[in-house]
Amino acid sequence: MNPNTTDFQPFDLSCSRDYARWRTWKLAAYPVAASDLRVQLSNPGELSATGYDAVLAICRKANMAIYDFGEQPFNKALLRRFGLQFGLERLDMNLRADEDSITSLRVVPASGGTHYIPYTSRALNWHTDGYYNTPDQQVRAILMHCMQDAASGGENRLLDPEIAYLLLRDENPDYIRALMQPDAMTIPANVEAGSEIRAACSGPVFTVEKNSGSLHMRYTARTRSIIWKDDRDTRMATGFLTELLTGDSPCTFSHRLRAGQGIICNNVLHSRSAFADAPDTGKVRLMYRARYHDRIRGTALADFSEEVLACSG
Ligand SMILES: [Fe+2]
């Protein structure tokens, strides 16, 4: 098969044979622990071919990799160049990003009566980034780089959206049908100080990109500020997801980023535990986060469907 065709459609519910073949490939040698996602790298601005290939291979399989630059100097410009090597170019402009559209995540004092959890030391529930964005502004990839870890806590849990899809579809294909409805989830308008700064937005949880055949997921485990479609299958599907994410599923990975490490991913599901800073010892957590409208180049299903088909016979 030509790698750039869209003939192979495992995420289409009517293509059960494609799904079965993709599923075989997906589960073959799938990482079992966060350590399987790790790649030691050097020179973030210009990766070696070996380093690049290692990251790409893991991202093709699991939609995420944990990289480690150790104690090498790092800054936002290098983060930008690191991302560009993976086709990550179009940065998402979010309300609280710094001027360069890369967000410095750290504890900041509350202002104007609003206090967004990402800028506190509190736990962050499971979500994909930018789930409240409009359909044409979806966040397809994220880079999150740890400049400094906290004195304690701040562990991430991670789940590949394709594994979430697989488990849901295996349980009941109607769950996928429900979560693909264009009005499956609605984010109410964001109103601050009486004025609307973001309109209400409805959309599906799962979508399949037309050209590449790749799966995209929007999700939040928040129960406030989210309205799920009130039908049986959506309730059952979200209940299944909640159980999956709150339980001790072997499909989720746990990792606490240390300074010099980061996550490159196709906007996988993630959460963060609470943490504690210790300013006296310099252990004040600081993450650089870049969100992109691009998917990691080379990880679209159409880019390696030959490999998938070869694996599943
Ligand atoms: Fe996030």
pLDDT band at 4 (very low <50, low <70, confident <90, very high): very low
Tokens 């590449």 appear where? 212
The answer for residues whose C-beta is within 8 angstroms of residue 2's C-beta and 6 or more apart is none
pLDDT at residue 124, rounded to an integer: 95
pLDDT band at 3 (very low <50, low <70, confident <90, very high): very low
Over 50: is that where the pLDDT of 283 sits? yes
CA of 43 to the centre of ligand 1 (A): 26
Bridge partners of 206? 217
CA of 289 to the centre of ligand 1 (A): 9
Average of per-residue pLDDT across 236-265: 95
pLDDT at residue 122, rounded to an integer: 93
Q: What is the mean pLDDT of the chain?
A: 92
Over 90: is that where the pLDDT of 134 sits? no
Looking at residue 300, the DSSP 8-state letter turns out to be S
The answer for residues whose C-beta is within 8 angstroms of residue 155's C-beta and 6 or more apart is 254, 255, 256, 272, 273
pLDDT at residue 236, rounded to an integer: 98
Q: Determine the straight-line distance between the first and last CA of the chain, rounded to whole angstroms.
A: 13
92-96, 230-234, 249-253, 256-260: least confident range: 92-96
CA of 127 to the centre of ligand 1 (A): 6
pLDDT at residue 210, rounded to an integer: 85
Average of per-residue pLDDT across 256-269: 98
Over 60: is that where the pLDDT of 54 sits? yes
Over 60: is that where the pLDDT of 168 sits? yes
206-215, 258-267, 269-278: least confident range: 206-215
CA of 273 to the centre of ligand 1 (A): 12
pLDDT at residue 126, rounded to an integer: 97
SS3 162: helix
Over 90: is that where the pLDDT of 262 sits? yes
CA of 15 to the centre of ligand 1 (A): 32
CA of 2 to the centre of ligand 1 (A): 35
CA of 311 to the centre of ligand 1 (A): 33
CA of 298 to the centre of ligand 1 (A): 23
Could you read off the pLDDT of 20-40 as tens digits, one per residue?
999 999 999 999 999 999 999
pLDDT band at 273 (very low <50, low <70, confident <90, very high): very high
Sign of CA dihedral 44, 49, 54, 56: positive
pLDDT at residue 136, rounded to an integer: 86
Average of per-residue pLDDT across 266-274: 97
CA of 79 to the centre of ligand 1 (A): 17
Average of per-residue pLDDT across 198-214: 90
Sign of CA dihedral 220, 168, 245, 266: negative
Of all residues in the chain, what percent are helix, strand and coil, respectively (each to 5)? 30, 25, 45
Over 90: is that where the pLDDT of 5 sits? no
The fraction of the chain above a pLDDT of 70, given in percent, is: 94
CA of 17 to the centre of ligand 1 (A): 34
CA dist., res. 127 & res. 113, Å (int): 24
- Candidates 299, 288, 300; CA nearest to 142 is 288
Over 90: is that where the pLDDT of 242 sits? yes
CA of 42 to the centre of ligand 1 (A): 26
pLDDT at residue 224, rounded to an integer: 86
Quickly count: other Cβ atoms within 10 Å of residue 115's Cβ.
Answer: 12
CA dist., res. 187 & res. 224, Å (int): 10
- Candidates 247, 249, 229; CA nearest to 238 is 229
